[in-house]
Amino acid sequence: MQDLNTLNRIFGREDKVSFIEGPSGMPLIQVSTARAQARVALYGGQLLSFKPARADHDLFYLSKKAIYEQGKAIRGGVPLCWPWFGDDPGDLGRQAHGFARNLFWDVLDSQLHDDNVEITLGLESTATSKQWWPSEFRLRKKIHIGDQLNISLTTENKGDIPFSVSKALHSYFRVGDVKQTRVSGLDGVDYLDKTLGFARQKQTGDITAKGETDRVYLNAPSRVEIVDPSLKRRIEIEHQGADNFVVWNPWDKAAQLNDMSAEDYEQFICVETANAIANSIIVAPGAVHHMQVSYRINPDN
């Protein structure tokens, strides 16, 4: 893992991109420009916070009880699920949602232009990763921080045989009150409902959470919107290279999680960009797959 002095010397940009020690000594990237404030953990390559200059609230929920230690995903922000989404597909006792969010990523580049910041992070197959997954891979994540937030993920097959991946940017969006929040743009789209044993359902109208919600929307459109009347804003989500939106809120099951307060389910909704289940991606040797998403906060007039 790169040390903070080296990171600041090579990748620090004026006083606007710096590398600091976070909770439990974990290194964080801190971005502070005229356009936005943001924090990114090198652990998991995970964006933790993004607040545009014109916004009153952070885009993301981050649990005050989040655990910052190796082997445990950070609860909130935008964790990455890769190379599988959900439970271990091989039923081999491996961690849910893969291992990419539980490893330290390398900083490969940082750019600053007109108060827009772009950070490039990388993760590659190692002897450690091959304990869980034998394939040779290279991951690249680019995070663009400006008036809006863009995240892109590139998966490259560095081996000699094809591999299959499912993946998600597991974004926890902060809301004022989940019971008042709506997700629009998925009317008429079929989904698999995990709370009903993955029964196939069809969405009617906007999504409103009234209890535990865990749905994979199939062959979904590229754009949805979170309408949050409590915080008086709309969050526009637009993605490419992804076939699914996943909508999740644990509701009263939040009380069973040791890294979240029981009432925290009221403060977020996850609307995740994903390629999951039947929409997993096969990557041929030498080939790459790109997935990207943009997030924009608009006022709810």
Answer whether 218's CB lies under 8 Å from 189's CB.
yes
The residues near 289 (Cβ < 8 Å, ≥ 6 apart) are 154, 155, 165, 241, 281, 283
Which of helix, strand or coil describes residue 251? helix
Distances (CA, A) of 241 to 9, 152, 171: 35, 10, 17
For residue 83, cis peptide bond before it (omega within 30 degrees of 0): yes
Strands 149-157 and 288-299: antiparallel
Tokens 């079929």 -> residue = 190
Type of residue at 259: D
Can you point out the beta strands (E) in 222-287?
223-228, 233-240, 244-249, 268-275, 281-283
Active site residue 57: no
Active-site choice (57, 144, 272, 289): 272
Q: Which helix (H) or strand (E) holds 48?
A: strand 46-52
Out of 97, 170, 225, 239, which one is annotated catalytic? 170
**Kindly report the CA angle at 124 between 121 and 129, in degrees rounded to 5?**
125
Specify whether 272 is catalytic: yes
Cβ contact 133:99 at 8 Å? yes
Residues serving a catalytic function are 170, 272
